[in-house]
Amino acid sequence: AQSVTQPDIHITVSEGASLELRCNYSYGATPYLFWYVQSPGQGLQLLLKYFSGDTLVQGIKGFEAEFKRSQSSFNLRKPSVHWSDAAEYFCVLNTNAGKSTFGDGTTLTVKP
Amino acid sequence: EAGVAQSPRYKIIEKRQSVAFWCNPISGHATLYWYQQILGQGPKLLIQFQNNGVVDDSQLPKDRFSAERLKGVDSTLKIQPAKLEDSAVYLCASSLGATNEKLFFGSGTQLSVL
């Protein structure tokens, strides 16, 4: 069975600082990977996805993620965080059949 | 473009009562999902519909939960009878239909069972 682990429950960064949110997965085949963001009072929104090809994928709002097969990781990064990035972030793995597994999320706090 | 609509936004009930949630997906989206998100956890898929047929309901507690999607558009999720552990946010999502496409989520229904 597949699983997704987000090791950091809560991360605090200063505005303008860089950000990296970790995601590790377990799956016996090539996964489809996603990052979603859940802002207060809003629905989950897709940031980016990886299906195949270039292992560095670009998303909305200046986010990017890198797929590393050898490390079973798909970490999310942003070079300079804005106060509006404060939210909860979910890493998601889909199987070939489209069955999705969410991580338990990382809550991002941005300090002024 | 209208998003995924869900109602009610909040619901408080006592244990053993019944409750129903409604979802209207984005027009033209063939696939509809119901997720349960317990506080501090990621969303867990309860049921997935493709048009009005069930694709996956392996994690739906069928002794108390039921869902339907009549005419392949709107959907309702029902809990009867509710238990304390059903307290959660119930999220509806939709996608155009192909496997592993982007999901569009509604704002959810927050259920409190007392």
Give tens-digit pLDDT for A44-60: 999 999 988 889 999 99
Q: What is the pLDDT of residue A1?
A: 85
**pLDDT tens figures, B10-27:** 999 999 999 999 999 999
What residues have CB less than 8 Å from B64, skipping those under 6 apart? B79, B80, B81, B82, B83, B86
Q: Is the pLDDT of residue A86 over 70?
A: yes
Q: Is the pLDDT of residue A21 over 70?
A: yes
Contact (Cβ atoms closer than 8 angstroms) between residue B34 and residue B90 = yes
* CB within 8 Å: B105 and A105: no
Q: Is the pLDDT of residue B97 over 80?
A: no
**pLDDT tens figures, B61-89:** 999 999 999 888 999 999 999 999 999 99
End-to-end CA distance of chain A: 41
* CB within 8 Å: B107 and A42: yes
Q: How does residue B1 score in pLDDT terms, banded at 50, 70 and 90? A: low
Q: What is the pLDDT of residue B98?
A: 67
Question: Measured between alpha carbons, how far is A49 from A41 in angstroms, rounded to an integer?
Answer: 23
- The shortest C-alpha distance from B42 to chain A (Å) reads 4
Put residue B40 in one of left, alpha, beta given phi > 0 → left and psi -120 to 50 → alpha: left
Q: Hey, of B103, B107, B110, which one would you mutate to test binding to chain A, going by the most A CBs within 10 A of its CB? A: B103
